Structure 1
Amino acid sequence: MDATVATAERAGDGETEDRIFLLPQAVIVLDGATSVELGPGSGGWYADLLGQNLARQLASSGDLDLRVALADAIASLVVTHGLRPGQAPSTAVTILRWSTQVVEGLVLCDTSLALQSPAGQTTVLHDDRLHKLGHPDRAAYLDAIRTGSPFDRERLRRMQALTREYRNQPGGFWVAEAVPEAADEAVHGIWPREEVAAALVATDGAAVGIDAYHVLDDWAAGFNMAKDHGVEAVIDLVHQTELGDPHARRWPRFKAHDDKALAFVQFLSEAR
């Protein structure tokens, strides 16, 4: 193996719906969307099956276009389980794949891929279209939390129903669900292998420690903590931060704890 991979996961307010799949030269991280209407576990069920499909495809072909692999994996689930757009579970997806020549990444919806160069510079591949929707109900829910309202399952259900209207639509956001063409909208990047020393793949429940809470100043700080203390320390820092803000007053959010998953890949220097 030409890289070392360490992973850590922590469930949020229930059974985790995040999934990590490891291949000899790839990492797949999925963040199944919790749905009040579709029932608990539905996002994790979908993430698990989609990850299995992706892992099989990438294992069988090392140079298969990542967007094609994702589209085919979604299409297979649509046929096998009769999934219908707007009524199916969904998941965010990040794929990191490498060879002796290149490092490649794909991000669909709100997971993150950060790369670090041998000199310590960081590059982040992120799909923020969901968070840029600016839906008034989303803002109203977070404002209510900030000013003292408790977490409200019914209000969350209504907000999720409205958000689904923007799912896999031009001008909205794109996510793995029941529309294979969503894969074509994924954020994609490719870099020469010698320019990448390490990578972090994070679901949004872990990335908020950098992007929202700022308990880690930046992604470089995330790399440093993962290297010096391990990936579990990064997950624990984010979780402990949320424990210090149990009612989400300081950092308004939709639930006390989101699921957290993190993969840390260090490329061996002799392979670069």
Structure 2
Amino acid sequence: MLRDREALSLRIETLTLQGTTEWNEDALVINEALGLYGVLDGATSLQPYRGPNGETGGYLASRTLKQFFEDLTVEDTASDSLLPYVVEANRRLRRQMAEAGIDTNRKDALWTSALAVIRVRDRYIDYAQVGDCMIIAQYEDGTIRVLSRDQVAHMDKISKNAREEGIRQGFTTREQLWDIVKPILLNNRTQMNTIEGYSVMSGEPEVADFIEYGRINRIRLKSLLLVTDGLFLPSDGGAEGEGASPVGGRHADAYAELLSRIVQSSLETYARKLMQLESEDKECQRYPRFKVSDDKTAIWIQFLG
């Protein structure tokens, strides 16, 4: 979807595509009255849960957070910083889980979501990030600036290494490889929002200590890209080191390539090509990953002057 906002001279392109799972657990945040935009990437709990219409916990997490940010009004936002609103959104998520009967003391039962949100002002941008949603800035001279850090990459690396070891041992189906990886994912869950682990919106009060946030000015800022991790290009099993190709997205040059591909075509074209690449590797052997195609969500904001 493409739209222009004349008041702030913005061109905004948005995208959300469901992957190969039952629900699209990603979500877009669009609150034009506040100039507030974001992407969310829900993750299903490892304890089975279904909502009244069969929704997964990841879907409900991202939709709960989306609703919170889109319901905010000017009167609700006295602070310039996005920090207090992300903290309050996390509290809202905890209340929703409690109302649904979730034991909020069990990490493996929590609905979770990564988050990246920005608020566009005339002279500056406020931002906040949790998990592995990413924010990438492009300047008039071509400089690429990655505002966020993938808070989950080091945990993902452990499970991906186990998966690749399974492939080397001769396991060939996603089901076999899932049996190898699941215990590692369960252990990773115990480290949510701890100093040894990773940040994620989970309803836990500890989230408040792990939110990254700040402000950049708009001097010569050309565009901002917010993406969920489903839009990173997959790296093959032989790639060495984090960020050897854009999927891991661990290095700035990987994000620069991602943005360059989108600039050369469009969000839609880029995403469709990526899904075609994934569909040609249905057993996830060439490009080690946990599902054929992850949900893909992005907002690309261009500043027109």
The TM tier, using the shorter chain, reads 0.7 to 0.9
> Number of aligned pairs?
269
User: Among 68, 74, 87, which residue is 1:71 paired with?
Assistant: 87
Match of 2:193 in 1: 168
Task: Determine helix, strand or coil for the equivalent of 2:153.
Answer: coil
Asked if 1:5 is matched to 2:12, the reply is yes
The answer to which structure, 1 or 2, has the higher relative contact order (CA under 8 A, 6+ apart) is: 1
Match of 1:207 in 2: 232
User: Among 161, 179, 183, which residue is 1:139 paired with?
Assistant: 161
Asked if 1:258 is matched to 2:273, the reply is no
Match of 2:59 in 1: 44
Match of 1:267 in 2: 303
Question: Given that residues 246 and 258 in structure 2 are in contact (C-alpha distance below 8 angstroms), is that contact kept between their aligned partners in structure 1?
Answer: no
Question: Given that residues 133 and 228 in structure 2 are in contact (C-alpha distance below 8 angstroms), is that contact kept between their aligned partners in structure 1?
Answer: yes
Task: Determine helix, strand or coil for the equivalent of 2:136.
Answer: strand
Asked if 1:61 is matched to 2:72, the reply is no
Match of 1:28 in 2: 38
Please tell me the residue identity of whatever aligns with 1:94.
A
Task: Determine helix, strand or coil for the equivalent of 1:188.
Answer: strand
Question: Given that residues 96 and 106 in structure 1 are in contact (C-alpha distance below 8 angstroms), is that contact kept between their aligned partners in structure 2?
Answer: yes
Unaligned runs of 5+ in 1: none
Question: Given that residues 94 and 108 in structure 1 are in contact (C-alpha distance below 8 angstroms), is that contact kept between their aligned partners in structure 2?
Answer: yes
Please tell me the residue identity of whatever aligns with 1:56.
D
Q: Give CA deviations for 1:56-102 in whole Å, capped at 9, x if unaligned.
A: 23653264421211111111232344151412110000002110110
| Worse-superposed segment, 210-219 or 110-119 | 210-219
Q: Give CA deviations for 1:76-134 in whole Å, capped at 9, x if unaligned.
A: 23234415141211000000211011012222101111000111111113333322137
Alpha carbon RMSD of aligned pairs, Å?
2.6
Check 1:135–1:191 CA distance in 2 against 1; reply closer, same or farther (3 A cut): closer
Match of 1:177 in 2: 202
Check 1:128–1:224 CA distance in 2 against 1; reply closer, same or farther (3 A cut): closer
Check 1:44–1:223 CA distance in 2 against 1; reply closer, same or farther (3 A cut): same
Please tell me the residue identity of whatever aligns with 1:183.
A
Question: Given that residues 92 and 109 in structure 1 are in contact (C-alpha distance below 8 angstroms), is that contact kept between their aligned partners in structure 2?
Answer: yes
Check 1:134–1:109 CA distance in 2 against 1; reply closer, same or farther (3 A cut): closer
Match of 2:25 in 1: 17
Higher helix share: 1
Unaligned runs of 5+ in 2: 50-54, 236-242
User: Among 211, 217, 221, which residue is 1:186 paired with?
Assistant: 211
User: Among 250, 261, 278, which residue is 1:242 paired with?
Assistant: 278
Please tell me the residue identity of whatever aligns with 1:199.
L
Check 1:196–1:8 CA distance in 2 against 1; reply closer, same or farther (3 A cut): same
Please tell me the residue identity of whatever aligns with 2:135.
L
| Worse-superposed segment, 234-243 or 30-39 | 30-39
Q: Distance between the aligned counterparts of 1:41 and 1:33, measured in 2?
A: 9
Give, in angstroms, the shift of residue 137 of structure 1.
5.1
Percent pairwise identity: 23
Q: Distance between the aligned counterparts of 2:16 and 2:156, measured in 1?
A: 29
Q: Distance between the aligned counterparts of 2:24 and 2:258, measured in 1?
A: 22
